[in-house]
Amino acid sequence: MDAGTAYQKLIAGNKETAVLGSCASLLVWDERTYMPKGGSPYRAEQLSFLAGMIHERLTSPHIGDLLATIEGSPFVGDPLSAEAVNVREIRRGYDRQMKLPPDLVKALARVTTLAQGAWVDARAASDFAAFRPHLEEIVKLKLEEAAALQTGETPYDALLDDYEPGETSANLDRVFGPMKTELTALAGAIEGASRKPDMGIVQRQYATDLQQAFGEAAASAIGFDMTKGRLDVTTHPFCSGIGPGDIRLTTRYDEENFAQAFFGTLHEAGHGIYEQGLDAAAFGTPMGDAVSLGIHESQSRMWENMVGRNLSFWTHFLPKLQSTFKGTVDDVSPEAMTFAVNRVERSFIRVEADEVTYNLHIILRYEMEKRLINDKLPVGDIPDAWNETFKEFFDLTPPDDANGCLQDIHWSGGGFGYFPTYSLGNIYAAQFFEQAREELGDLDAMFSTGEFLPLRDWLREKIHRQGMRYRSGDLVKEVTGRGPDAEPLMRHLRGKYGELYGLSF
């Protein structure tokens, strides 16, 4: 068999496996949105069965034979060609999956499905003890996974690599340490400022049905195609890419907190725009997939914060908000609205945190995860360890577990290594946004007149359609001319919040 024929067979098989993966994604979306609570045990069996099928296909010796035929041949001589990228990433996935015992893969799918339902109940009751047995089983399995996969310095690196290929905790320590120091000082200076926003603006009565309509309209305006997606309600917002033409967004509503659902919707729409921007014809191959979660988060955080919390955004959208919520915000100016949605305040809930303190929430979780995976912190000690660390970071003590260690869904799904990608996303987003300003011109003038598609199309060309051609750091360098660097993010924060709060940094 020649390399070209072997490649065709490899891609055909990969695309078939992707269909199974999309079926599993749909079941997960349903489990988190509309599935009746009593369906959880059987859903766990369904997802465990599918996970086993997918793992069996991904570890077939046939894949190894096909890869051996293709690798080293002139067919993949150009390392940045679609063929070479697909082979490189399929090889990476194959080698990784071969290290995982099938029983472990199926157990993780079963245990995490049950755990996510248990987490919803435990969070609602602020009862960590009810969730503890589920989390203990998940951590046990993730430690087994890390041991099977570990090639770097720490077990945690093996889990991190699943979400941000090539990233290490040693590098994150180097980046996050100075960030923590500077962000803490920045937040302290802002809290001491005399100028304060009127938070009553976003805490008025905003009917849920109108919030949904407004959120969908805003998502459409920035480039999310609602004919190929939808918006639903869940406990913890997420975006699910089922497949080409089917991208599901979710959010959660509070009629006395407009910002929660609206910026959650913009955030998930950013993920959805990335998914819709991937090459549909390449679905089921690495060239039709996202680079990493860090790059994915760069898209969601950019649309949420750098666009959605921008004065030019509200210059355009405030009249639409006033016409949607008649009589609710008639007395509000674009400047007042912008200040209100950019308040900086130490708080307990990550998803409601401002841009300045948000990364402190992430660094806290990153430190907790390293303690759990590398240092074997007992799961039963999490609430106390969380509260102590939160006190160190924010000088606040969570009043209960719902506002503390139970607030995020990630650990219930086994997502250890996921949290750092949020901060990496913020770093990448600032670099991409600076570059977009250089290449596209006056983005503020565009946004103020409702022109958001030039940015969407620039991101689609530079990032989305590149698939997995480049690793995260290489993609950042390809787009911006320099490698990942936190300084553009800090420059963005100092400039924006210095102007809002009347401070000089």
The catalytic residues are 268
Taking residue 376's Cβ as centre, other Cβ atoms within 10 Å add up to: 11
Q: How far apart are CA 87 and CA 90, in angstroms?
A: 5
Let me know: does 229 contact 265? Beta carbons within 8 Å: no
Tokens of 135: 């989390």
Q: Which helix (H) or strand (E) holds 229?
A: strand 229-233
Residues 6+ positions from 25 with CB-CB distance below 8 Å? 240, 241, 242, 243
Nearest-Å Rg of the Cα atoms of the chain is 23
Contact call for residues 475 and 295 (beta carbons, < 8 A): yes
Whole-Å CA distances, 429 to 6, 94, 199, 220, 235? 38, 30, 27, 21, 26
CB contact at 8 A, 175 and 160: no
Under 8 Å between Cβ of 338 and 309 = yes
Backbone torsions φ then ψ of 400, nearest 5 degrees: -160, 175
Beta-bridged to residue 229, according to DSSP, are 247
